[in-house]
Structure 1
Amino acid sequence: MSNLPMNVPEGAENYKFAELMICLPSDWQVSQEAFETEENYWPIHWLNKMARLPHEYQTWLYLAHTVPNGDPAQPFASNTLFSGMILSVPSVVENLKSFFTLSLPNETEVHFFSLIPLHKEEMDLKLKNGAEVLFEKLEKAGVNEVVNLKRKNVAKKGFLFF
């Protein structure tokens, strides 16, 4: 994604180069054969889709931007109810500060964002109440960028934190 600059708004010129990452659990099937099914391939498909999006639509991606899977948002595959992605700052990386920004010799800065799959209700929560509310709920629930097909929907009524 960072091979080309994104079309950033005025004042965000330092963020025109970015890269995306998604983390899969160690037991995720990543063989060529496994990737022939959408149940195994959807995270890679969405990583590619999101990386192309700013260049195809002359826009940009930044922290807390969400992208739904269609309108209305539909699950990515039959093995998940996730139907959208949000950009986040990587959290599973030990030295986060030095990982978020890569300074290249030509003085270009590339910023790294992680993709976190979201449920439709989580995207709705973010649109209604703001990204900070959603990120707080995700953090309290222990959600990070490692894809967890069994994680609870933090926007569902009755979801409690203990």
Structure 2
Amino acid sequence: MDEARGSGVERHESRHDGFVPAAGLSSAAADAIERHVERYLGPVEYVLHEFVSHLVEAHVLVTGPTADRPYRSLVTAGMSGRPMTVPDGVNPFAEVMTTVPAAWSPSPEDWPVRVLKQVARLPHEYGTWVGEWHSLPNGEPYTPDTPFAGVVVAPMVTVAPEARVIHVGDGTAIDLLALVPLHPAEVALKVDRGTQALVEVLDEGGVTELLDPDRPSLLD
């Protein structure tokens, strides 16, 4: 995982020898996540449930398109079932999201869903954390039909700032982070030259958390 300041690649080893039953969300947290999604991202149209989960549940809420947000948001519900292993001053609770075009009705086999689930489990599997501007290279395109070969974790920019944090009634705050898919050359830029270089390229290209499956590389 490439850390936030672009200081190189950290490689982690799993802290677990095999299957670890998931720590589920409290009912208060599950309700807070769903209410937050419906308030800021759109009505939840359906949920991609997990029935047997390792470490944390990684259910995915899928919103329907609206006039204001004419695409679907995909949001994990379960990553925050365990705290991440974080440095001092970093919130240990997070969920992750991305979007897909309105015509796409995601299933568990679709690569954006698989990536969300992978990222939701990663900090718990490896005893680390996921935060803004961490990048997660995949090494190769996620599928033969997509050019994307990694993601960068970024703040959502198409919503109000208050949408970036989910507040649970017990006082817990859960960061809601976006996963922005990257082409191989963009992943390499982040690793080689750091966060600021990638941010400048993404800003210049108008790239946000709104996934365009046909987006060309900003560097080729």
TM-score, reference length from structure 2: 0.61
SS in structure 2 at match of 1:23: strand
State the 1:65 CA deviation.
Answer: 0.7
Secondary structure of 1:50's counterpart equals helix
Write out per-residue CA displacement over residues 42-88 of structure 1, whole angstroms, 9 at most, x where no aligned residue. 0000000100101111110000111111xxx1000111110001100
Corresponding residue to 2:167 among 94, 100, 103: 103
Deviation at 1:118, TM superposition (A): 0.6
1:155 CA displacement: 2.7
- Which structure has more relative contact order (CA 8 Å, sep 6+)? It is 1
Tell me the distance in 1 between the aligned counterparts of 2:218 and 2:197: 11
Structure 1: which amino acid aligns with 2:89? G
User: Does structure 1 residue 83 correspond to structure 2 residue 149?
Assistant: yes
- Which residue does the alignment assign to 1:122? 186
Structure (1 or 2) with the greater helix fraction: 1
In structure 1, the residue matched to 2:117 is: 48
1:7-156 correspondence to structure 2 within 5 Å: 7-12=85-90, 15-30=91-106, 32=107, 36=109, 41-69=110-138, 73-93=139-159, 95=160, 97-156=161-220
Report the alpha carbon displacement of residue 29 of structure 1 after superposing the two structures with TM. Answer: 3.9
CA RMSD of aligned residues (A): 1.4
Could you list the runs of 5+ residues in structure 2 that have no partner in the other structure? 1-78
Distance in structure 2 (CA, Å) of the matches to 1:46 and 1:137: 23
Corresponding residue for 1:4? Answer: 82
TM-aligned CA deviation for residue 103 of structure 1: 2.5
**Distance between the aligned counterparts of 2:177 and 2:84, measured in 1?**
14
Between the aligned residues of both structures, percent identity stands at 35
The TM-score, its normalising length taken from structure 1, stands at 0.82
Query: Deviation of residue 25 (structure 1)?
Result: 0.9
Following TM superposition, the consecutive aligned residue runs of length 4 or more in structure 1 with deviations greater than 4 angstroms are: none
Distance 2:135 2:206 in 1: 19
Measured against aligned partners, the alpha-carbon deviations of 1:92-134 in whole angstroms (never above 9, x if no partner) come to 22x1x11111222222111110001111111111122211221
Richer in strand (by share): 2
